[in-house]
Chains A and B, each alone.
Chain A
Amino acid sequence: GQQVMQIPQYQHVQEGEDFTTYCNSSTTLSNIQWYKQRPGGHPVFLIQLVKSGEVKKQKRLTFQFGEAKKNSSLHITATQTTDVGTYFCAGRGNTGFQKLVFGTGTRLLVSP
């Protein structure tokens, strides 16, 4: 079945440093979504990418969808303590009704 892996599993940065998490799927995706989960909270939707090579920005966050639609990345510029949490990618296959498959997540810790 479809598998989605994320790296790194954990990253600890100083406030102001950049952060990137990478997501790789074993199969071609129809779209990819990103979620953020604060400690003790629930996943909250950030964005969805649909097109090959698509790039979207949300303030300091930049999301990319690979040309082959099998990988994606989230880059945070100049991290802040409010960025702390676990970031999940989640992808859907590209045939028929496909369930969302979540990546393993990257836990981000930001020190002031």
Chain B
Amino acid sequence: NAGVTQTPKFRVLKTGQSMTLLCAQDMNHEYMYWYRQDPGMGLRLIHYSVGEGTTAKGEVPDGYNVSRLKKQNFLLGLESAAPSQTSVYFCATDRDFSYEQYFGPGTRLTVT
């Protein structure tokens, strides 16, 4: 029972490159979230999904796209990376909005 996993753990991109971060969960949770964490700014919600095939924008969605083709997977895409997207990215899941969130181990992304 792995819980929430994220790949990759680390990545360095050059400005303009693209990449996809994968979040996978085996908890059978409906809700999934992508956050970014920057020093002194806490966790900010990028996009979220309330079920397979659905996605919605969070607080800071610009420059990111997401897809939830399967219930257990939530993908975060950067089409053209910018240095401002250097951050630690966390995926999280919960059963529904009344319950606690479970976080993945994070992906540390550097854009040069």
Contacts and interface: CB of A to CB of B under 8 A. Distances in A.
A31 B48 CA distance: 20
Interface stretch (A13-21, A53-61, A67-75, A99-107): A99-107
Nearest to A33: B100
A104 B38 CA distance: 10
Nearest to A98: B97
A9 B40 contact: yes
Interface in B69-112: 90, 92, 97-106
Contact of A43 (B41, B90, B97, B98): B90
Interface residues of B, number: 23
B98 A31 contact: yes
Contact of A42 (B45, B99, B105): B105
Interface string B23-63: 00000000000010000111111001010000000110000
A34 B59 CA distance: 20
Contacts of B102: 45
Contact of B97 (A6, A44, A92): A92
A43 B103 contact: yes
A88 interface: yes
Chain B: interface secondary structure? loop
Interface string A77-88: 000000000001
B98 A42 contact: no
B98 A44 contact: no
A48 B100 contact: yes
A45 B58 contact: no
A25 B38 CA distance: 20
A45 B103 CA distance: 9
Nearest to A44: B103
Contacts of A98: 97
Contacts of B43: 43, 88, 90, 102
Interface of B: 35, 40-45, 48, 50, 58-59, 90, 92, 97-106
Which 10 pairs across A and B sit closest by C-beta, in order of nearness?
A45-B100, A42-B103, A102-B43, A104-B42, A102-B42, A43-B103, A105-B42, A42-B106, A42-B105, A97-B97
